[in-house]
Amino acid sequence: MPKLAILLTDLQIKSAKPKEKSYTLADGGGMYLEIAPTGSKTWRMAYRQPNGKNTRLTFGPYPAVSLTNARKKRDAAREQRAAGTDPAQIRRDDKQTATAAATNTFERVAWAWLGKTAATRAETTQDKVTSWLKKDVFPSIGEMPVSAIKPIDVLATIQKMEARGAIDSAHSVRRLCGQILRHAVASGLTERDVTVDLKGALSVAPQVHYAAITEPQQAGELMRSIHTYTGHPYAVAALKLSPLLFVRPGELRSAKWIEIDLDAAEWRIPASKMKMKVDHLVPLSVQAVEILRGVHLMTGGSKFVFPSIRTGARCMSENTITAALRSMGYSKEVMTAHGFRAMARTIMDEVMGERVDLIEHQLAHAVKDPNGRAYNRTAHLPARRKMMQRWSDYLGGLRDSDNVIPFKAA
C-alpha cells in the first residue's frame, strides 16, 4: 500500500520553533517551509531542471504568504514545469519587465521622443510642446510606467485643461500624448496608443476668428500708430514688419539671421517652421530691408532677429506684438497680431486688385498650378516681389495721408 504524503497544517507551522541551525518542514510537491535560527519562516520549492541542475524558488515569508497561497504558488510552478518552461526563468523575465516598466515612465519616454523629433519642429513649437508637458502632463502621468497608462489617465489630464477653458490646447495635448505613446509602441515599451479611445471625449474647440482691420482708412490710422510707437526697439521693429510681411506671428518672432539675405532682399523660412511644412520665400520690400538693416545693428550677433529681452538663447515672446497693439489702444476684438494677414489679404484683393493666387501664395496657403501640383517656394517670384513692394508703398501712403486713394495694380 502506497505511503500517503503528510501535509503541513497551520498549527504545525505556528508551533515550529527556531533551532541552532536552519531546518525545513516538507509539504509535498517539492515545497517546504524553512525555519531560520532567527525564527523567520520562508516558503521555498526545490526542483531539478532537465540538465540536472537543482533550482530553488522562494514564495515568500510566513504568515505574509499563507499556507493556502503558498500551495497555489507551488501548483502554478508545477504547471509551468509541465508545460516545458522554467518557473525561475519566468520569474527573472517578469522581474526584468517590471524593472523596465518602472524605469520607462511616461516622462522619460517623452523626453526621449522630444529629443529624437526636435529637428522636425520650429524652436517656438518645441518650447510650447515642452511647456505643455511640464505644466500639464508630467504632474499627472509623468511618473507612471508608460505601459501602465490607460485612457482614463490621459483623459483626466486633458480634462483639467478643458475645465480652465484651454480647449484648443487640450486637443493638442491629446495628440501630443498619442505621438509619445506611439513612439513607446515602436520602442517595444507598451502595447498600444490608448489616446485613440479618447476621440470625441473633449468639447469641440470653437472656431477661432482673428480680429483684423480690413478697411483702408482704419488701416491708415493703425499704420500711423505703429509709426509713432515707442516701445522696446526689438518690439518696434517687429511691429513695423508685421503688416509689411504678413507672415504668421510665430514665424516672424522666431526669424533667424541665417534665413535672411538682405542683399538679395529675401527671407527663406524653412519647412520646419511652416504650418504647411513647406519651405516659404518672402520677398523683402525696400522698406522691410531698411527696417531689418537697423535691427541687424542691434541683434546681428544673435542667431535670432528678435531675441528675447531676457536671454539671447530664445526668441521674442509670443505676447510682444499683442502687448504693443494693446498699448496703442487696439483691443483683441479690433486687431490681433495674426490680423495683419487678414488685413493684407482683404485690402490687396478688394482695394489694390492684386492677383488672388499671388496673395494666397504669399500667405503660404496651399496653391496649386493648373495641373494640380503645389507651387514651389520660388513660383511667380518676380511677380510676388513687385506685389510686396506695391503693398509696402501702399501702406506708406495710408500712413502719410488721411485721404485713401483707390489703388489699381499694374
Active-site residue, selected from the candidate residues 95, 209, 232, 365: 365
Q: Is position 268 annotated as part of the catalytic site?
A: no
Catalytic residue among 275, 277, 326, 368: 275
- d(Cα 365, Cα 184) in Å, to the nearest integer? 34
> Which among 213, 217, 215, 214 is positioned nearest to 402, based on CA atoms?
217
341 tagged catalytic? yes
Residue 365 annotated among the catalytic residues of the structure: yes
73 is catalytic: no
Catalytic choice (41, 73, 240, 248):
248
Residue written as grid cell 495641373: 371
Catalytic-labelled residue, pool 341, 361, 384, 399: 341
Spell out the SS3 assignment of the chain. Answer: CCCCCCCCCHHHHHHCCCCCCCEEEEEECCEEEEECCCCCEEEEEEEECCCCCEEEEEEEEECCCCHHHHHHHHHHHHHHHHCCCCHHHHHHHHHHHHHHHHHCEHHHHHHHHHHHHHHHCCHHHHHHHHHHHHHHHHHHHCCCEHHHCCHHHHHHHHHHHHHCCCHHHHHHHHHHHHHHHHHHHHCCCCCCCHHHHHCCCCCCCCCCCCCCCCCHHHHHHHHHHHHCCCCCHHHHHHHHHHHHHCCCHHHHHCCEHHHEECCCCEEEECHHHCCCCCCEEEECCHHHHHHHHHHHHHHCCCCECCECCCCCCCECCCCHHHHHHHHCCCCCCCCCCCHHHHHHHHHHHHCCCCCHHHHHHHCCCCCECCCCCECCCCCCHHHHHHHHHHHHHHHHHHHHCCCCCCCCCC
**CA atoms within a 13 Å half-sphere pointing along the CA-CB vector of 54:** 4
Q: Which of 71, 74, 253, 338 is catalytic?
A: 338
Say which of 375, 380, 385, 390 is annotated catalytic.
Answer: 375
| Grid cell in block for residue 216 | 483702408
Q: Please list the active-site residues.
A: 248, 275, 338, 341, 365, 375
